[in-house]
Structure 1
Amino acid sequence: MKNFALIGASGYIAPRHLKAIKDTNNNLLAALDRFDSVGIMDSYFPDADFFVETERFDRHIEKLRHEQNITPDYFSICTPNYLHDSHIRMALRRGADAICEKPLVLNPWNLDALQYMEQETGQRVWNILQLRLHESIIELKKKVAAASKDKIFDVDLTYLTSRGNWYYTSWKGDKDKSGGIATNIGVHFYDMLSWVFGELKRNDVHVQTHDRAAGYLEFERARVRWFLSINYDVLPEEIKLKGQRTYRSIAIEGEELEFSGGFTDLHTRVYQGVLNDEGYGLEDARTAIEIVHDIRNAKPIGLKGDYHPFAKKELVEHPFEKLSSLKN
């Protein structure tokens, strides 16, 4: 049985980590979050200690080591994107491996610094790249590998996940903290695409605003038109009529890839891989981090070249944008 500490216990993704720790028959020593709405812990580790202040959490970890000779083997990190780097460093300094949600960091050079810390501490940094374990994605990778070596696949990626006005007030609406739309909701797709289709050759950005981003990626084995948005208005009408607020589509050569299910145990399987020293490390995360960094810092070229059809959808100024202009 391994001992865990968890940072970011009140967030959306934390229950998947709590479940993974429990399902792999391990123990949670302590959790940290500035917000105290963490009743979900009762379903998994009611005896774990909980803190809302980093200093008291860190002190508790230190006291466990000195007074009971107990140390966390792993830190699970479920915090906002911009804090991942700092919390990973905390784990390594405490003699633990870090298991961190994506994006692992916001900038490629942060990976280089963490590699140095791995060498210095002897600990490892692991990333949650669960789409690599999804059966439909694994079958797609096999299909691509089996195809003629000169075959270049045409892919359309569309991911629309509606968010309310709260999004723009939260850290997710701050590009410096989340990395923007492409980073916040797209990084796992870019990882999947590079894992399946190989080396990146080209990265064009057609549209990038507060609520959407669109572009073109060319990999060794694929030409990908992509569109991401958090705006309900861009949803296809048939999706709205069903009362749904999310639409996800990956079309390969005009054929839809079905992967709507099969997500329930992926975090647990990632944890099992980490525990067997077979998880996804810093270098595994690099390509996707480079892609989203370049997208975030690119100057959109507009509707030129091979762009996603949704890129033409009308852009309506959001009330948040008006409010920001008034403040400035």
Structure 2
Amino acid sequence: MASKNFALIGAAGYIAPRHMQAIKATGNALVAAYDINDSVGIIDSVSPDCAFFTEFESFLEHAWRLRRRGEGALDYVVVCSPNHLHGAHVMAGLQLGCDVICEKPLVPTPDQLDELRCGETETGRRVYSIMQLRHHPAIHALRDKVVAEASGAKHEVELTYITSRGPWYLASWKGDPRKSFGVVADIGVHFFDMLHLVFGELERLVLHYSDDRKAAGYLEYEQARVRWFLSIDAEDLPEEVRGYRSTHRAILCDGEAFEFSSGFEDLHTVSYREVLAGRGFGIDAVRHCLQTVHAIRGTHPEAPRKGEGHPRLLALACNNPGVGS
């Protein structure tokens, strides 16, 4: 397969290095990048000749110039900008005549997803979302378990995701719900994607707690009753990992643990290989999880019913009566 030319929007962001490495690992070229922040020296380790811009207009002018010349024209635009800019940057990539790879969440609402669909129709190009959990071996094992044990009874599931973030998180755009759409969207969307993939259609949704650092609730799917807890607070990490690991990802399904805190290192590269092979996850594939996140964000918290509260939330409520009530 001939090498493809990539441009990256949001080159100084938290997740951008994984995309740069994936572009390189798949034998392609990063030829242009944009960010308002110029702390992007990591580009030298991936593509020393990459053109870099701190003004979006200059980036667009360069991209159009490459397209007019024909030789060296962009094939893909990668979007790693703040969440609230995804829609505009994806549309810009489509209008440049490129397929677009975008970090999650693709956009915050189903209506904006429909706008991207119109953009695809108008330009004849495609939009792909990075949903790397779909490639994780532990998730494959969980799905195999559910398929093998199909009995009509719903599985009892606990989902826990704690990824500790320092003060920078809330001081950055991620701490502004107008830009990040909150922790449920910023760190949770691919987990809701995974739950749909494994357990089927969503039938009931309840939010138990939400603030700028954590959220918890209950989801009932065709094949599972799910108690979930998401947090960026290091104090929520289990005692056994606190101090030597900053992230804890775990699913408990009918008492069987599927722990997947590791194994994420190469999943962006796997995702890129799938996109380049024509098997990427497009707009229709991610619609359900965006609908779930949108619904959660519009729901008022209520106290958990018996058997529906996540154990971590219930423990917090014992020490803080304002939590989970």
TM-score (norm. length: structure 2):
0.93
> What is the match of residue 98 of structure 2?
96
Letter in 1 for 2:72: I
CA distance in 2, matches of 1:99, 1:120: 18
Residues 208-245 of structure 1 show CA distances to partners (whole Å, capped at 9, x for unaligned) of 112211100011111100011122223333333x4433
Residues 235-272 of structure 1 show CA distances to partners (whole Å, capped at 9, x for unaligned) of 333333x4433322211111110323322221111111
Task: Tell me, yes or no, if the aligned pair for 2:110 and 2:290 is still in contact at 8 Å.
Answer: yes
* 1:265 aligned onto 2:272: no
> What is the match of residue 192 of structure 1?
194
Unaligned runs of 5+ in 2: none
Task: Tell me, yes or no, if the aligned pair for 2:204 and 2:219 is still in contact at 8 Å.
Answer: yes
CA distance in 1, matches of 2:4, 2:246: 39
> What is the match of residue 290 of structure 1?
291
CA distance in 2, matches of 1:87, 1:289: 18
Task: Tell me, yes or no, if the aligned pair for 2:183 and 2:214 is still in contact at 8 Å.
Answer: yes
Task: Tell me, yes or no, if the aligned pair for 1:303 and 1:311 is still in contact at 8 Å.
Answer: no
> What is the match of residue 325 of structure 1?
none
Task: Tell me, yes or no, if the aligned pair for 1:82 and 1:176 is still in contact at 8 Å.
Answer: yes
**Kindly tell me: are residues 294 and 315 of structure 1, through their superposed partners in 2, closer, same or farther at Cα, counting changes over 3 Å?**
farther
Letter in 2 for 1:170: S
Which has the larger displacement, 95-104 or 135-144? 135-144
* 1:247-258 to 2 correspondences below 5 Å: 247-258=248-259
> What is the match of residue 321 of structure 1?
none
Aligned to 1:129, which of 131, 152, 169?
A: 131
> What is the match of residue 163 of structure 2?
161
> What is the match of residue 228 of structure 1?
230
CA distance in 2, matches of 1:315, 1:88: 42
Shift of residue 201 of structure 1?
0.6
* 1:299 aligned onto 2:308: no
CA distance in 1, matches of 2:115, 2:134: 25
* 1:209 aligned onto 2:211: yes
> What is the match of residue 10 of structure 1?
12
Residues 80-113 of structure 1 show CA distances to partners (whole Å, capped at 9, x for unaligned) of 1111111100000000010001111111111111
CA RMSD, aligned part only?
A: 1.6
CA distance in 1, matches of 2:265, 2:165: 22
CA distance in 1, matches of 2:227, 2:53: 44
Shift of residue 140 of structure 1?
1.5
Q: Percent identity?
A: 50
* 1:21-170 to 2 correspondences below 5 Å: 21-67=23-69, 69-170=71-172
CA distance in 1, matches of 2:36, 2:16: 14
* 1:180 aligned onto 2:192: no
Task: Tell me, yes or no, if the aligned pair for 1:77 and 1:84 is still in contact at 8 Å.
Answer: yes
Shift of residue 286 of structure 1?
0.7
Residues 162-194 of structure 1 show CA distances to partners (whole Å, capped at 9, x for unaligned) of 222222221111111111111111111111111
Q: Does the residue aligned with 2:279 lie in a helix, a strand or coil?
A: coil
Task: Tell me, yes or no, if the aligned pair for 2:25 and 2:269 is still in contact at 8 Å.
Answer: yes
> What is the match of residue 274 of structure 1?
275
Residues 112-142 of structure 1 show CA distances to partners (whole Å, capped at 9, x for unaligned) of 1111111111000001011111112112212
Task: Tell me, yes or no, if the aligned pair for 2:247 and 2:261 is still in contact at 8 Å.
Answer: no
Task: Tell me, yes or no, if the aligned pair for 1:206 and 1:300 is still in contact at 8 Å.
Answer: yes
Task: Tell me, yes or no, if the aligned pair for 2:66 and 2:74 is still in contact at 8 Å.
Answer: no
Residues 272-298 of structure 1 show CA distances to partners (whole Å, capped at 9, x for unaligned) of 111111110001111110111111110
Q: Does the residue aligned with 1:225 lie in a helix, a strand or coil?
A: strand
Residues 18-77 of structure 1 show CA distances to partners (whole Å, capped at 9, x for unaligned) of 111111111111000111111111111001100111011011111122245432111011
Which has the larger displacement, 132-141 or 256-265? 256-265
Task: Tell me, yes or no, if the aligned pair for 2:156 and 2:226 is still in contact at 8 Å.
Answer: yes
Task: Tell me, yes or no, if the aligned pair for 2:105 and 2:189 is still in contact at 8 Å.
Answer: yes
TM-score (norm. length: structure 1):
0.92
Which has the larger displacement, 135-144 or 229-238? 229-238
Which has the larger displacement, 63-72 or 8-17? 63-72
Task: Tell me, yes or no, if the aligned pair for 2:249 and 2:259 is still in contact at 8 Å.
Answer: no
CA distance in 1, matches of 2:300, 2:105: 22
Which has the larger displacement, 101-110 or 67-76? 67-76
Letter in 2 for 1:283: D
Which has the larger displacement, 143-152 or 270-279? 143-152
Letter in 1 for 2:265: T
Letter in 2 for 1:262: G
CA distance in 1, matches of 2:90, 2:189: 19
CA distance in 2, matches of 1:56, 1:46: 19
Unaligned runs of 5+ in 1: 318-328
Q: Does the residue aligned with 1:239 lie in a helix, a strand or coil?
A: coil
